[in-house]
Amino acid sequence: MKPVFRKQAAVWLQDQYRISGRRACRMVSLSSSMYYYRHHPREDAHIRLRIRDIALSRVRYGFWRIFVLLKREGFTDNHKRVYRIYKQEGLNLRSKRPRRSRSAAHRLERLDTPAINRVWSMDFVQDALFNGSRFRILAVVDNYSKKCLSLLVGKSLKGEDVKQELDSIALCEGLLPERIQCDNGSEFISKEVDRWAYQNKVTLDFSRPGKPTDNPYVESFNGKFRDECLSTNWFMDMEDAKNKIEDWRWEYNHFRPHSSLDDLSPQEFIILHENTPETLL
C-alpha cells in the first residue's frame, strides 16, 4: 500500500474508533512522522512575478531561456519548479513546425568551422514598414561564436553596399575570415563583391541553388531574427527600423543565452576563449 493510502487509512481508523494517532500508524505500518507531516507551500510570488516580467519583455523566449536568465539573477529554484510556475502562468510557447520529408533526414554534413572569425555566413532578410513599404536587411554571422556581425538595413542594397559593409566589419573585428558562405543572390555574385574577395584572399562559398541547408548557420539565425525581432516589432520608418534592429542585435550578442554555447551569449563565449589565441586567428 502506498504511504498516502496508509495515511488515509490511519486517519479513518482514528476517526471511527477514537484511537490515538500513534496506534493508528502502528496498525497500518505507517511512520508517525509521515502521519503528522503537514505540507507548507513555498512562497513563489517573487519568482512568479519575475518569470512573467521576462516573458512579457521577451515574448519569444521559451522556458529554458527564461530559466537560464533566472539562474543568472541568482534564483536557486530548480528547473522543475520553474517549469511548473511557467505552465501555471500559461506561458507555454507552441511553435508550429512544418512536416519534414524523408529526404530531410539525409542532409549534407555541415562544413567544419574550426575557430572564431574563420568562417562567416551572410544572407538577406526582407520585411516591411507599417505602411507596407518593403526593406531588406543584410545579416552577417560568425559561424563559430554565433555572433551577429552586422544587420545592415536599407531600401535597396546592392553589391557595393555588401562590399562596404564587409570592409566595415573587417575594420571592427580587426581581421578577415578565410571563407564566407552565401547563396547565389545577385548582390553576392556581383563584380564588386567578387573583386573584394579576390583582393582580400577570401573564399566565397556559394550554396547550391535551392539548397538552403548548405548554409545552415545563417538560416538558423534568420529564423531567430524574424521570430524575436521582425515579427514582434512595428516599424514606423527606416530610422525606427534601424534603431530597433540594432538594439536587438546588441541583445542577441551580449545577453541572449545560446544553447549551442552552453547557455552563454556570443560575447561571453568570445571572452571565455580569448586566452586561447588559436581560436581567434
Read off the pLDDT of residues 203-239 as tens digits, 9 standing for 90 and up.
999 888 777 778 889 999 999 999 999 999 999 999 9
Percent of all residues in the chain with a pLDDT value above 70, rounded to a whole number: 89
Q: What pLDDT does residue 194 have?
A: 92
Radius of gyration of the chain (CA): 28
Task: For Cα atoms 155, 267, 149, give the angle at the middle one, nearest 5 degrees.
Answer: 25
**What average pLDDT does this structure show over 30-47?**
81
Taking the mean position of all CA atoms in its chain, how far away is CA 108?
A: 24
Rounded to two decimals, what is the model's pTM? Answer: 0.74
> What single-letter amino acid sits at 223?
G
Task: List the 203-206 sheet strands across, edge first.
Answer: 148-154, 134-142, 119-128, 179-182, 203-206
Taking the mean position of all CA atoms in its chain, how far away is CA 232?
A: 15
Would you say the C-alpha torsion 21, 25, 31, 37 has a positive or negative sign? Answer: negative
For residue 232, the tally of other CB atoms under 10 A from its CB is: 13
Please name every residue paired with 142 in a beta bridge, in sequence order, or none if there are none.
Answer: 120
Please write the tens of the pLDDT for every residue from 160-177: 999 999 999 999 988 899
**What average pLDDT does this structure show over 110-117?**
70
CA separation for the pair 274, 220 (Å, rounded): 25
Contact present, 110 and 179 (Cβ < 8 Å): no
pLDDT at 108 over 60: no
pLDDT at 112 over 70: no
Q: What is the mean pLDDT of the chain?
A: 86
Q: What pLDDT does residue 95 have?
A: 59
pLDDT at 61 over 80: yes
pLDDT at 2 over 80: no
Q: Which of the residue ranges 20-24, 57-61, 65-69 would you say has the lowest mean pLDDT?
A: 57-61
